[in-house]
Amino acid sequence: MNRPIGLFDSGFGGLTVMKEVVRHLPNENLIYLGDTANLPYGNKSPQTIIELAQQNATFLLSKQIKLLIIACHTACSRALETLQKSLPIPIIGVIQPGVELLLRTTRTQRVAILGTTSTIESGVFQSLIQKTHPHVQIYPIACPLFVPLIEEGHHNTQAATLIAHSYLEPLKKAKVDTVLLACTHYPLMRAVLQQVLGPDVQLVEPAELCAIQAREFLQSSQLLNTQNEKPHYEFYASDDPEKFRRLGKHFLGDEIQFTAKII
């Protein structure tokens, strides 16, 4: 079936997921929406985040998508259930794969979760982990300044390192061995975070496992695109598509045709 897969995020963080979807589902047509007019989601109320997620999903549904990937932890933590109940298409999020990876990776059962204020306050990671692994020690940390730094292209600067030091200070005593990047923007700060946390800490992110789960789902539901044409990628932003194109293009690499339209 050649209908596209839709992905959305508040900005270009979700492109970290799209990149893996391109790798694991190279035949699929994709439509990406960055809701840059409403960025960041992480400091908004749950109700507002649900409404924004609904708007994004409605836009992507109008493009006849066959599967929706919510490439945003904040939107997943607040709106996944509501959207799953109300939309007529399957939805995959980033939270479940992140939890799976975190539990698979930790040896010491001491883990940290970095996310936006809303994701951390939702408590969704804490309750999912505790349900099956009550002995795991969890250190959740909200890092609200990371997303604006990344969206402005300042994620590899001294300012980013200083801010990361200040957010991650409590982890020095916590002795965690695994840290989940529970925001699709944070992989862009991976180098800085690894440097601040030290080489013994493993950083994990759900993008690849999310793409693999999407492939498995499409395979088992016989929804894979079996036509052998070059896939078509479309990008939309709700504000300043030129800025989105400039930064996003740099991130996705030259092999992907990148122009962004306004919704």
Which residues neighbour 49 within 8 Å (Cβ) at sequence distance 6 or greater? 41, 74, 75, 78, 79, 118
Q: Is 101 strand, coil or helix?
A: helix
Q: Is 210 a catalytic residue?
A: no
Residue (of 36, 21, 13) closest to 68 by Cα position: 21
Binding of ligand DGL by 241 (CB under 6 A): no
Give the separation between CA 220 and CA 76, rounded to whole angstroms.
23
**Residue 205 found at the interface with ligand DGL (CB under 6 A):** no
Quick check: 138 and 111 in contact, CB under 8 A?
yes
**Using rule CB under 6 A, residue 10 touches ligand DGL:** yes
Q: Which residues contact 77 (CB under 8 A, 6 or more apart)?
A: 95, 115, 118, 119, 122, 124, 125
Is residue 183 part of the annotated active site? The answer reads yes
Q: Which residues pair with 262 in a beta bridge?
A: 237
Candidate list 4, 6, 13, 241; residue touching ligand DGL; CB under 6 A: 13
Least distance between ligand DGL and beta carbon 151 (Å):
8
Residue 117 CB, shortest distance to ligand DGL, in Å, is 8
Nearest CA-CA partner of 115 in 106, 107, 124: 124
Question: Active site residue: 76, 143, 183, 210, which one?
Answer: 183
CB of 231 to ligand DGL, least distance (A): 24
For ligand DGL, which stretch binds (CB under 6 A), given 9-17, 25-33, 49-57, 154-162?
9-17
State the amino acid at position 226 in one-letter form. T
Supply the DSSP symbol for 4: P
Cβ closer to ligand DGL: 211 or 225? 211
Binding residue (CB under 6 A) for ligand DGL from 29, 36, 56, 74 = 74
The candidate with the shortest Cα–Cα distance to 33, out of 59, 62, 54, 65, is 59
Residue of 29, 36, 56, 119 that binds ligand DGL (CB under 6 A):
119
C-beta closer to ligand DGL: residue 75 or 103 = 75
d(CA 158, CA 166): 13
Smallest distance, Å, CB 230 to ligand DGL?
28
Among 6, 40, 187, 206, which residue interacts with ligand DGL (rule: CB under 6 A)?
A: 40
Site stretch for ligand DGL (CB under 6 A), options 37-45, 55-63, 120-128, 199-207: 37-45
Q: How far is CA 239 from CA 57, 70, 150, 244, in A?
A: 17, 19, 17, 8
Selected from 79, 147, 163, 252, the binder of ligand DGL by CB under 6 A is 147
* CB closest to ligand DGL, residue no: 42
Q: Is 185 in the site for ligand DGL (CB under 6 A)?
A: yes
Is 72 near ligand DGL (CB under 6 A)? Answer: yes
Residues with a catalytic annotation lie at 72, 183
Given the rule CB under 6 A, which residues bind ligand DGL?
9-10, 13, 39-42, 72-74, 116, 119, 147, 183-185
